[in-house]
């Protein structure tokens, strides 16, 4: 796995990796002490400082069980060439396997559908450059070649990739547009969740009201940083959690099974051609259904 430090990063290596990966700090220390982590090509200590432009390579032991192709999982491929594939991920689908869950993921589906995937992220996460939460739908790009993976990873680290989302929020925003600039880190009371916390990593989310609905707002977002659960955490922080969010909000709403958050569009530079590309994913049916219900309540 290769990571490119973002411009505002300046923190301990083990802390940085705990935020950027699913590994614990103790496991990261084991990897570092075992020479399986490189910082700019050299073996660092776990307490080394990560700075702008640093390149981090992680080489964990290969898992006993690797991801296996599964042709029975549906996957909506919006675009494909020799370097990349662009996917419209459905709600309810986990992106990649993890210990305890090696099946029924997007990676399993892609291994069955695509001829190749980048090997940089290892046997469990081939081709995965960025992720969407299990219950977040929408557009994402995967790398079919290592050169594409490196290019896309750098673009994400340098914040030149444009990620736009839409969501239904509980309640009504006071301001029709604005910016949320609040640091995000692990929730000290539940390490599986994130929260706005002092000393967290800087997280910036721009938002704009698209439509007032009955007891809810339909809102567009652009994230300028890529923190875990960023929009969901920031929405909760301003008092308007994403509708249907079972971790940060009130849970199921009008038959939803997870948050009404959709990755609407993604803009990036093609790793091989240099062409700027934008892909837009249509709203899933459950999202459209909730909008129809809320509009009907308002008589629209």
Strand partners, 219: 167, 209
* Per-residue DSSP letter, 283: P
Instruction: Compute the distance between CA of residue 244 and CA of residue 236 in angstroms, rounded to an integer.
Output: 12
Residues 6+ apart with CB under 8 A from 26: none
Query: In the chain, what's the furthest Cα-to-Cα distance?
Result: 64
Q: Which residues of 110-120 are buried (b: 16+ CB within 10 A; e: fewer)?
A: bbebbeebbeb
Catalytic residue among 9, 54, 133, 245: 133
Is 33 an annotated catalytic residue?
Answer: no
Dist. CA 117–CA 102, nearest whole Å: 17
Q: Are 90 and 76 in contact (CB under 8 A)?
A: yes
**N residues, the chain:** 300
Rounded distance, CA 178 to CA 204, Å? 11
CB atoms within 10 A of CB 65: 12
- Give the catalytic positions in this structure: 133
């Amino acid at each position: 796995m290769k990571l490119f430090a973002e411009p505002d990063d300046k923190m301990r290596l083990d802390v940085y990796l705990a935020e950027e990966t699913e590994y614990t700090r103790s496991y990261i220390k084991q990897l570092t002490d075992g020479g399986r982590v490189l910082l700019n090509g050299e073996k660092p200590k776990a307490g080394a400082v990560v700075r702008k432009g640093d390149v981090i390579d992680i080489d964990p032991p290969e898992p006993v069980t690797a991801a296996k192709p599964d042709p029975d999982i549906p996957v909506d491929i919006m675009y494909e060439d020799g370097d990349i594939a662009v996917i419209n991920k459905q709600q309810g689908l986990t992106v990649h396997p993890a210990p305890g869950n090696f099946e029924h993921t997007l990676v399993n589906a892609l291994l069955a559908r695509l001829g190749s995937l980048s090997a940089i992220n290892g046997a469990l996460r081939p081709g995965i450059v960025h992720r969407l939460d299990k219950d977040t739908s929408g557009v994402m790009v995967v790398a079919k070649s290592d050169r594409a993976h490196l290019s896309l990873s750098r673009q994400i680290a340098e914040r030149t990739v444009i990620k736009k989302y839409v969501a239904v929020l509980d309640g009504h925003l006071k301001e029709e547009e604005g910016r949320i600039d609040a640091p995000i880190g692990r929730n000290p009371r539940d390490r599986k969740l994130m929260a706005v916390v002092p000393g967290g990593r800087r997280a910036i989310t721009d938002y704009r009201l698209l439509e007032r609905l009955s007891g809810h707002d339909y809102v567009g977002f652009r994230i300028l940083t890529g923190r875990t659960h960023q929009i969901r955490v920031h929405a909760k922080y301003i008092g308007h959690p994403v509708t249907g969010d079972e971790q940060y909000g009130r849970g199921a709403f009008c038959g939803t099974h997870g948050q009404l958050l959709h990755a609407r569009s993604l803009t990036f530079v093609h790793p091989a051609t240099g062409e700027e590309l934008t892909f837009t994913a249509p709203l899933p049916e459950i999202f459209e259904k909730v909008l129809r219900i809320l509009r009907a309540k308002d008589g629209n």
